[in-house]
């Protein structure tokens, strides 16, 4: 098997700055850097992890343990302070559905725009367009401006675009709970279909039953470090029993 993700000893500190104003920064400098202009927060701590192609990994941990931050490092949105991140193949993050959607554009325009944002070429979008609309169950509303969509329709279309980008590695952050019950089941089926097709999945979700259903491996984060890595069932029971 080939490596999909290789993370070696990454650290990430966030600087919580108290000012965005040049004046205050200058005053602080002139006064001999007295006082705290910023506070540091260690979000990822000497974290290493390897994922092979075809693995399905559940990323677990309490709020603020660094799950989203880790996914952002894998997708390249953030760079580590130290250590290395390397990925193989195309990585697509379903970090937040509809991040690239614009309410004043039609569903059709949004499909093209979002598809391109997620790295699809014009030909790929054209080819998959019908399938995207069909999966989203948008039908004739595809040429209506997205601001007139119900929130369910909006999420369905955004999710549909994202799953049609066909990357090698999928990062899924808290988005499996979109739309109504039947659509959730459909999303889940699609995710499992991707897993069966040999795609690599990294899933973050509060729904532990769902994660146990989709993933085989579990990784538990605590204060930005991996504290447990093993079969998903074991990791979930440890999380439940604390």
Ligand X SMILES: Nc1ncnc2c1ncn2[C@@H]1O[C@H](COP(=O)(O)OP(=O)(O)O)[C@@H](O)[C@H]1O
Instruction: Spell out the alpha helix ranges (H) of 121-200.
Output: 122-136, 151-163, 181-196
Question: Which one, 26 or 62, has the nearer CB to Mg ion?
Answer: 62
Residue 99 interface partner, choices ligand X, Mg ion, another protein, none, CB cut-off 5-8 Å depending on type: another protein
Q: Name the burial class of residue 146, with classes exposed (0-12), middle (13-18) and buried (19+) by CB atoms within 10 angstroms of its CB.
A: buried
The two tokens of residue 87 are 């990925």
Residue 65 interface partner, choices Mg ion, ligand X, another protein, none, CB cut-off 5-8 Å depending on type: ligand X
CB of 85 to another protein, least distance (A): 6
CB of 182 to another protein, least distance (A): 27
What is the C-alpha to C-alpha distance for residues 182 and 186, in angstroms, rounded to an integer? Answer: 6
Report CA torsion sign: 110, 114, 116, 117: positive
> Looking up tokens 């889940």, which residue turns up?
188
CB of 150 to ligand X, least distance (A): 28
Under rule CB under 6 A, residue 16 binds ligand X = yes
Question: Which one, 53 or 238, has the nearer CB to another protein?
Answer: 53
Q: In terms of Cα–Cα distance, which of 66, 4, 15 is closest to 37?
A: 15
In sequence order, what are the beta bridge partners of 57? 202, 217
CB of 221 to Mg ion, least distance (A): 10
x/- binding map, residues 59-78, to Mg ion, per CB under 5 A? ---------x----------
What is the C-alpha to C-alpha distance for residues 61 and 73, in angstroms, rounded to an integer? Answer: 17
* Helix/strand/coil for 211: helix
Binders of ligand X among residues 61 to 80 (CB under 6 A) are: 61, 63-69
- List of residues contacting another protein (CB under 8 A): 1-4, 6, 14, 17, 20-23, 25, 52-55, 72-79, 84-89, 91, 93, 95-96, 99-100, 102, 104-105, 109, 112-113, 116-119, 121-122, 168, 198, 216-217
Question: Which one, 97 or 125, has the nearer CB to ligand X?
Answer: 97
Task: Give the count of residues interacting with ligand X (CB under 6 A).
Answer: 12
Question: Which one, 68 or 165, has the nearer CB to Mg ion?
Answer: 68
* Helix/strand/coil for 197: coil
What is the C-alpha to C-alpha distance for residues 146 and 70, in angstroms, rounded to an integer? Answer: 31
The CA-atom distances, in angstroms, between 220 and each of 9, 57, 66, 211, 238 are: 16, 10, 10, 13, 9
Q: Are 53 and 198 in contact (CB under 8 A)?
A: yes
CB of 223 to another protein, least distance (A): 18
Question: Which one, 68 or 87, has the nearer CB to Mg ion?
Answer: 68
Under rule CB under 6 A, residue 219 binds ligand X = no
- What does the binding site for Mg ion look like in residue numbers (CB under 5 A)? 68
């Amino acid at each position: 098997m080939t490596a999909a993700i290789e993370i070696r000893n990454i650290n990430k500190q966030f600087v919580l700055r108290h000012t965005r104003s040049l004046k205050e920064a200058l005053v602080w400098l002139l006064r001999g850097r007295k006082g705290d202009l910023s506070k540091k927060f260690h979000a990822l701590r000497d974290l290493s992890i390897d994922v092979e192609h075809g693995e399905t990994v559940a990323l677990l941990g309490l709020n603020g343990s660094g799950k989203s931050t880790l996914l952002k490092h894998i997708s390249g949105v953030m760079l580590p302070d130290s250590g290395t991140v390397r990925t193989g193949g195309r990585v697509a993050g379903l970090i937040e559905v509809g991040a690239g959607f614009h309410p004043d554009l039609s569903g059709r325009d949004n499909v093209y725009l979002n598809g391109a944002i997620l790295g699809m070429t014009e030909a790929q979008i054209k080819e998959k367009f019908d399938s995207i609309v069909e999966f989203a169950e948008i039908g004739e509303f595809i040429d209506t401006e997205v601001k007139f969509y119900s929130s369910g329709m909006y999420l369905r279309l955004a999710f549909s675009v994202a799953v049609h980008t066909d990357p090698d590695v999928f990062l899924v952050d808290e988005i499996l709970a979109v739309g109504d019950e039947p659509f959730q089941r459909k999303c889940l089926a699609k995710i499992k279909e991707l897993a069966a097709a040999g795609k690599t999945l990294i899933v973050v979700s509060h729904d532990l039953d769902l994660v146990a259903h989709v993933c085989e491996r579990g990784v538990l984060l605590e204060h930005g470090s991996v504290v447990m890595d093993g079969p998903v069932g074991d990791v979930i029971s440890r999380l439940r029993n604390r």
